[in-house]
A and B are shown apart, each in its own frame.
Chain A
């Protein structure tokens, strides 16, 4: 049911935004003279840039509205297309196609082909997947596309994309409006209008939207969901390509930079349109562009706030997400993707795993294991340094297990929480490196998590993910670069009393022990009342509330727990790095890599955090093989392919392995353990199910036959024999029999 009028949250957000604007303007007024010309200059430039954001954002909205998938790879597609356009039209050593022809070729041929390709191969499989899986696959695709673009067009050669009409234009007063910028504004308006007409005034548009609501019902009405889905992806990819090519002349032309400019502002604009309203999305894009230009024109924030301009889109995103209406409890819907009942690890297994981890790490690091054909020897300083870096990231990854893995609260900002821990330790321990402060840091980080939880409590699903994205960006661009937060400082070695972790081996060992203890603690936590509540909340907030779970309090506790874990991990992170680089260490891509690898490994499993050492292990293995010689192709595969493309490909692999690699490995390994009778039984059940044909498409994509009807009965456990000659008889389904 739609609410009418202004909601209190919206009124609050508008007032808060206006108040924020007034205070910031008052404090940061640069003192430039306000003239009609200067106003005009900033406004036209803002409209032009805002139009670029709007084009990019409309692509996001179209794909989301018509497929139900929020595409983080939107920027990646735009980046790849822009570089391809450069290769075709701008590269002086290239084939030198005319710009217009290259634009048409990329936007109307290549980009749609990419869209259709992605839909056929990946996106259709995500239709019924969990939101986490949907988001991670598109984030993985983004990382893959950026890596691919970066490798194909390396930064050893500087590139630039020229403006259309090469700076020609017309004057408004003293200010020249170039035809390029004029065209961008017109194109953005035309695209918004045409898309609105397409989606609301044409049969195909209505069908595209209907498919999202009910795919089967739309199909019964004669639509072809597959074709519509491909069309939507083609359209979205075209818009991404167009935005990428038009933005390229305005920015320093590198994949990560272009992606940042394209994606963040577009997400904020799309959020303003609540991911469905094209007019509001365009307004959002224009608003961000105008805010950026007028901020640069009139305000001066000083050296303490070096990246304010880059923080404007995240601020808008943050405020917009906060102003959204409270997420309704999802009741009365048939769940299509029920979580199977899972066995939780018992404490003995958890303890055994933790101790085993410590033992294995000590054995490997000291080189006590001789493989016969190869004696690796003790780890050298580089291996220990890599081990430390890997374990620190793994510790941060652990913080995602209760929050995202169990409670389903998507968090793209693990480094933001870790950074807060590092900041607190810097203030509390100072030069001492006293490890006793670490638990205190954890306790003090918990309230930050609780505060974020209060914001997040109103949200769920995608908007929660966007809130965490905005939080990560705000901390990275606004808070942490402030020199008072992380002044130039070298973190001292950790110490407890007179014992100092002043060697890499000691520090590595300490990290392994801390990780093992935290992992074991999480195993116990999962079995506790809290753990069960968190999982219940992820399965169904409505059901959890019905049985008496206080959803808000539960969320606050899980956020506080996660923040405490991340904060303590942040201390080790800062010490391992020796110093924090506030401009680089909190980049969104670094956050994405942690979340991606955790998701690919299995967010619900503490042991999956070890998977975050993926890159270090691959690189170390490549290095060792390289030293051994005669493994050229393998070294190249590890170093140049797997280490670079691995994270993206692993996340994309979630399309077929949605619960993570560690889960699948565990499932394969568990039946081998003598005491895991349950695992063997589950395996047998799966094999049984594997012999049954899927019946979901009956009547829609498959003929509805008598045989199929029998199969349905069989699937439902009504009969267990579909041989017509023997007729029906009551089922003795294996599961029932077992009970």
Chain B
């Protein structure tokens, strides 16, 4: 029998209180950074003097030279709103349009994983409402945490089905069951599904969902049931470096290997690079759990085979771990061209200091450092509450702008009471060119077999990301056509 004295009971109570207070205090502390889940977007910050809303006077139209301006996101004329507004669809009332941003956040493996997507979408909605809203209404945005698990992701789809006009900025990894997303009834009772303006998803059902439109184009054939598959690979940055190296790039490809879906996503890229002349000695499957020492044999392979190129399709930690290990083994890291995808465009990558100096990163949108060249980028950077936002935030913002564009098209054509999920889907399916008002490369949503074909190549110089190609600020290179490839995920075998 367990007995406690009075003093013990006091200690237990004190500890319980301490634990609760400690956690409450920590969570309260972090709430300042949490732009309020499940609530209407906060009003956007007041525009500062150098935002596009206050244009400089040195050009006739008030824009700086080279600055691209939004083209189709202007709200409709005021007289369009001179009608009695109706609740035309689930999530649409006379005053508001409700959208949901769903992202993987709380989970034991990586708490706060895609919080950037939430922040980007909330910032977009706040900015939009500040500009007068859309379709004569204000936007209400709700955050749904998909928690990096299937049940919560399906619940998010169900929530959108019952509450929202559309999902905007979806950034989830476990959309394995899209039945509800694609077939749930609209207000008229038709199995229309919910328009899903997504940034990144990895699972085949989600990538190939008939109602999902990914700003980062998947570049794969849909539907897909296994076996061979047509795909397209963006190779612009690699093509540029290949030319710079006299057509001689022999190296390693680091495949993100923690999930089958992420492994598969690397296959078209490998095939595309090889199609233009890159020779990959090994394509190593990298786990996010790998310590630096796991990279030791990769360096040995590089040394043994005299390799001069590394392409990192995994995260920034993998790149820095390989660089560290190479340096620790006395390997001449300067003899290698190191190229990383968007995943390395992070402040933490720069925190590696000299280790990552000279490495390349390629993006399919204008870098955050060039706010003076693009009004949309400037608006984003002004609205988001950080100097160096996560790429997810940019993607979610871009999805928001896409949503604006198609809604405005509907309103222009048929007025603010024409807004339904079905109309939204029709407009999205017909959108063959969308470039987030010049900030991103053009995206074609008429097929899943398209990819981001524009790029800018950055290099880490003096602990900063510096534009290398194309040289002119505010521009993306769109000259290199994506390479069509046929791959077979069932037979692909990354080295381990």
Contact = CB atoms under 8 A, between A and B. Distances in A.
Contacts of B115: 154-156
A134 to B, nearest CB: 14
Given A125-B2, A303-B494, A385-B158, A645 B23 contact: yes
B495 A254 contact: no
Nearest to B351: A160
Given A176-B328, A381-B180, A583-B259, A641 B300 contact: no
A254 B328 contact: no
B352 A160 contact: yes
A463 to B, nearest CB: 26
A175 interface: yes
Given A306-B257, A581-B176, A640-B27, A167 B111 contact: no
B316 to A, nearest CB: 7
Contact of A303 (B24, B109, B150, B493): B493
A447 interface: no
A582 B351 CA distance: 34
A469 interface: no
Given A157-B348, A176-B329, A249-B292, A385 B317 contact: no
Interface in B1-42: 1-4, 11-12, 15, 19-20, 22-24, 26-27, 30, 33, 38
Contact of A297 (B296, B316, B324, B346): B296
Contacts of B112: 154-156
Interface string B176-196: 110010000000000000000
Given A41-B329, A247-B291, A303 B285 contact: yes
Contact of B3 (A30, A148, A694): A694
Interface residues of A, number: 96
Contacts of A148: 22-23, 26
B170 to A, nearest CB: 17
Given A121-B11, A156-B116, A252-B289, A151 B111 contact: yes
Contact of A252 (B1, B177, B288, B346): B288
Contact of B296 (A41, A120, A641): A41
B300 A154 contact: no
A644 B12 contact: no
Contacts of B20: 641
A33 interface: yes
A176 B23 CA distance: 44
Contacts of B289: 251-252, 257, 260-261, 310
A150 B303 CA distance: 38
Interface string A567-595: 00000000011110111100101000000
Given A150-B111, A302-B496, A386 B151 contact: yes
B30 A151 contact: yes
A150 B148 CA distance: 15
Contacts of B155: 382, 385-386
Given A150-B108, A689-B1, A121 B15 contact: yes
A349 interface: no
B480 interface: no
Interface of B: 1-4, 11-12, 15, 19-20, 22-24, 26-27, 30, 33, 38, 106, 108-113, 115-116, 150-151, 154-155, 158-159, 161-162, 174, 176-177, 180, 204-205, 226, 257-260, 263, 285, 287-294, 296-297, 299-301, 303-304, 315-318, 320-321, 324, 327-330, 346-349, 351-352, 355, 390, 492-496
26 contacts: A30-B495, A32-B297, A41-B300, A92-B351, A148-B23, A148-B26, A151-B23, A155-B115, A175-B330, A176-B328, A181-B328, A250-B293, A254-B109, A256-B108, A260-B289, A296-B294, A300-B495, A305-B496, A381-B180, A386-B151, A488-B260, A490-B176, A581-B174, A626-B38, A658-B2, A694-B1
Given A298-B297, A380-B162, A694-B3, 9 more contacts: A152-B26, A158-B317, A158-B347, A159-B348, A167-B324, A174-B330, A251-B290, A584-B259, A658-B2
